[in-house]
A and B are shown apart, each in its own frame.
Chain A
Amino acid sequence: MLSIHDLTATAGETRILDGVDLDVPAGEVHVVMGPNGAGKSTLANVIAGRDGYEVTGTATLDGVDLLGLTPEERAVRGLFLAFQYPVEIPGVGNAAFLRTALNAHRAARGEPEVAAVDFLGLAREHMARLDIDPAFLSRAVNEGFSGGEKKRNEILQMSLLEPRLAVLDETDSGLDLDALRIVAAGIERLRTPERAMVVITHYPRLLDLVRPDRVHVLAAGRIVTSGGPELVATIEAEGFAPLVGSAVG
């Protein structure tokens, strides 16, 4: 599914990713942990196509070179990034935004647009499941949303767009327990043999709810250790220092 090889990313003079190798097969949920500033969000951004980095190496989704595609092309091929800091967009209505995004995906699949009324029904259904107040549809995208509400809005988008590969960047940060359960349920719903997920997190609590297939530690721009779910307990007990060794300061 997702295959990353020797990926580097440089911003200005700063080398942020320094040869990342990562393979996420279909049907699996992989967790990426690592200290602040390790490059986790940069990895997510580079996969999603944010510009501003000089990138080398390869990243493919089902064999398709992602790095040669625009962000929107990656998205309609099934890539979804839940932002660590979802962007507030005053003046753009959430409903119009979600419908435009859904229709862009449908257009890429050669499907007709969803009409406004049908969309509202669909959105309400997803919102009910994620326990999001339908009033959020009539607000501007993320504007004035609380931290947790923004994260739920990310999961709502994921749920509507049904990506084949989702990268969740600290979607669990700042969530109360109920919201965490809802997010976990959202993840589990998309856990199917043909989809995969990369979950970036600092908190083992989410991993009690969503059991990962593999855990990777990213430090100083590289994957320094990978292992099974048991790695989470080691990190919790000992921190990152023993794992990353010379890779960090």
Chain B
Amino acid sequence: MTVVADLLDRIGPVAAPSKGAAEARAWLDRHGLPDRRDEAWRYTPVPAVVEALAETPPSDAGPVPSGAVPAAIAIDRDLVDRRAGRPDGPRLVVVDGRLAAPLSDLDALPAAVRVGPAGGAPGAPPADGFEALGRVVGGGAVAVDVGPGGDRRLHVVHVATGRSGGAHPALSLHVSAGAAFELIETFVGVGAAAVVNAATRVTAEDGATVGLVRVVAEDDESVHVGRTAVALGRGATLRGTSVLVGGRIARHALDVDAAAPGSHVDVAGLAVPRHHDRHDTVVTVDHAGDDVRSGQIFRVIAADRGRGSFSGHVIVRPGTVGTDADQSSRALLLGPDAQADSRPWLEIFADDVRCTHGATVGRLDDDALFYLRSRGIPAAEARRLLVAAFAAEVVDRIGDTGTREWVEARVRARTVGAG
């Protein structure tokens, strides 16, 4: 794999080699990075991601590239508040993949929640070549372990400074049987172009209820490829909300392994590409267990020449019964050059399946716009109301008020004047 070797030559590894890194390297040599033939990557320009990574010179390469943040930039709590909103409840701050203890509320963690470094031990096979790459480079890893109990929430803010070699944050979350927990991950920059390659792995034991909110709010010139892999135990519930509101390239792959019976998967996503952004969300729900219900709703609001894509991959394994899978995708195009793709991707190998999907692409409703304006509401405000209403189906799922309002503000800022 000359691409991989060349890339690794430029960007790493920077970490001490571990067993996990060695295995990831072997995986990478076998599988390589995703390419055009890879269906799951159809809507993300992989060469542009590779190029962005390769352009970040090794850390010992001398002068900081123009536009990058000087090494001395002070990332303090104020800056994080300004960039990522102030959540209710405790927050961890991870800078370029490394937990920044002084900025984190490590003393105020919710009951029975433990946070520590994840070892370099081999884990599940990588979801894709970029995750493998992240393990090889050794971007840093945080492990969150959640014991019994309910009603707890932790906010993790990932800050990317545009450091050389990209940021490769990895986070693992383990939620014990019967416990309830919500993880909010937000990804922000500090005004410099950054490349972020983030991997989150979640294990929900039997009967656990896990909320995942993931907001990619990278800076305009940044590139983000991320994935969340979730393994659900018997009767476990996942409520996932994915939001892409930043980055010239932003991708989120959410893979749900529903191998145990009776789990419930409820995921929703919103992408708001503008300028020339490419935003791509790929959700895969693998119904490998019986009586698994899944619902996916997805919304794209595309402005300027932005393009938002959604693939809803549903796999139903042979011999399973009681599968219920719904999918709905709607796109709002705020300009003649905006684009949206919606791809239901169904692989159903069982009979006892109820499966629905629907997709629409539209523009702002002229009748609604006229109705609002006829009440004295200025056109721009009327558009804003309609755009916010379109986003609300996803955004309103974010229970944390601080995070929700921050996302609403970003959606507004990204769509102002469009439509």
User: A147 interface residue, CB < 8 Å from B?
Assistant: no
A104-B376 contact in complex given A87-B371, A89-B368, A91-B393, C-beta closer than 8 Å: yes
Chain A, interface size category, equals 20 to 34
Residues of the A chain whose Cβ atoms lie less than 8 Å from the Cβ of B381: 100, 104
User: A86 interface residue, CB < 8 Å from B?
Assistant: yes
Q: Are A101 and B385 in contact (CB under 8 A)?
A: no
With most chain B CB atoms within 10 A of its CB, the pick from A81, A87, A141 is A87
**Chain A residue, CB-CB nearest to B396:** A91
The minimal Cβ–Cβ distance linking B262 to chain A, given in whole angstroms, is 32
A89-B386 contact in complex given A100-B381, A104-B381, C-beta closer than 8 Å: yes
Residues of the A chain whose Cβ atoms lie less than 8 Å from the Cβ of B376: 72, 75-76, 101, 104-105, 108, 161
User: A70 interface residue, CB < 8 Å from B?
Assistant: yes
A161 to B375, CA, bound (A): 8
Residues of the A chain whose Cβ atoms lie less than 8 Å from the Cβ of B390: 91
Residues of the B chain whose Cβ atoms lie less than 8 Å from the Cβ of A49: 370, 373-374
Chain B, interface size category, equals 20 to 34
Question: Which residues 80-105 of A sit at the B interface, judged by CB distance below 8 A?
Answer: 80-81, 83, 86-87, 89-92, 96-97, 100-101, 104-105
Kindly identify which residue among A75, A87, A104 contacts B367, using a CB–CB cutoff of 8 Å: A87
**Chain B residue, CB-CB nearest to A89:** B368
Q: Mark B380-415, 1 if CB is under 8 A from A, else 0.
A: 011001101110110000000000000000000000
Q: Are B368 and A71 in contact (CB under 8 A)?
A: no
Q: Mark B83-123, 1 if CB is under 8 A from A, else 0.
A: 00000000000000000000000000000000000000000
Residues of the B chain whose Cβ atoms lie less than 8 Å from the Cβ of A87: 365, 367-368, 370-371
User: A48 interface residue, CB < 8 Å from B?
Assistant: yes
Q: Are A71 and B389 in contact (CB under 8 A)?
A: no
User: A50 interface residue, CB < 8 Å from B?
Assistant: yes
Q: Are B371 and A89 in contact (CB under 8 A)?
A: yes
Count, A-B residue pairs, CB within 8 A: 77
Residues of the A chain whose Cβ atoms lie less than 8 Å from the Cβ of B370: 49-51, 71, 87
The minimal Cβ–Cβ distance linking B199 to chain A, given in whole angstroms, is 34
Question: Which residues 258-296 of B sit at the A interface, judged by CB distance below 8 A?
Answer: none
The minimal Cβ–Cβ distance linking B331 to chain A, given in whole angstroms, is 15
Kindly identify which residue among B372, B373, B385, B386 contacts A70, using a CB–CB cutoff of 8 Å: B373
A51 to B393, CA, bound (A): 30
Q: Are A86 and B389 in contact (CB under 8 A)?
A: no
With most chain A CB atoms within 10 A of its CB, the pick from B371, B390, B392, B393 is B371
The minimal Cβ–Cβ distance linking A159 to chain B, given in whole angstroms, is 13
A87 to B393, CA, bound (A): 19
User: B379 interface residue, CB < 8 Å from A?
Assistant: yes
Q: Are A97 and B375 in contact (CB under 8 A)?
A: yes
Q: Are A91 and B389 in contact (CB under 8 A)?
A: yes
Q: Are A72 and B373 in contact (CB under 8 A)?
A: yes
Q: Are B393 and A75 in contact (CB under 8 A)?
A: no
A72 to B374, CA, bound (A): 5
User: B377 interface residue, CB < 8 Å from A?
Assistant: yes
Residues of the B chain whose Cβ atoms lie less than 8 Å from the Cβ of A140: 389
Question: Which residues 16-52 of A sit at the B interface, judged by CB distance below 8 A?
Answer: 48-51
A24 to B388, CA, bound (A): 39
User: A171 interface residue, CB < 8 Å from B?
Assistant: no
User: A201 interface residue, CB < 8 Å from B?
Assistant: no
User: A157 interface residue, CB < 8 Å from B?
Assistant: yes
**Chain B residue, CB-CB nearest to A78:** B376
User: B17 interface residue, CB < 8 Å from A?
Assistant: no
User: B378 interface residue, CB < 8 Å from A?
Assistant: yes
Q: Are A104 and B378 in contact (CB under 8 A)?
A: yes
The minimal Cβ–Cβ distance linking A94 to chain B, given in whole angstroms, is 12
The minimal Cβ–Cβ distance linking A83 to chain B, given in whole angstroms, is 7
Q: Are A83 and B373 in contact (CB under 8 A)?
A: no
Q: Are B385 and A86 in contact (CB under 8 A)?
A: no
Kindly identify which residue among A75, A96, A97 contacts B373, using a CB–CB cutoff of 8 Å: A75
Q: 6 pairs across A/B with beta carbons < 8 Å?
A: A72-B374, A89-B368, A90-B389, A91-B388, A96-B385, A157-B375
Interface residues of chain B, those whose CB is within 8 Å of chain A, are 365, 367-368, 370-379, 381-382, 385-386, 388-390, 392-393
Interface residues of chain A, those whose CB is within 8 Å of chain B, are 48-51, 70-72, 74-76, 80-81, 83, 86-87, 89-92, 96-97, 100-101, 104-105, 108, 140-141, 157, 161
Beyond the given A76-B376, A83-B371, A87-B367, could you list 6 further A-B residue pairs with CB under 8 A, ordered by the A residue number?
A: A49-B370, A72-B376, A72-B379, A89-B372, A97-B375, A100-B385
> Closest 8 interchain pairs by CB?
A91-B389, A75-B376, A101-B375, A104-B376, A71-B373, A87-B371, A76-B376, A72-B373
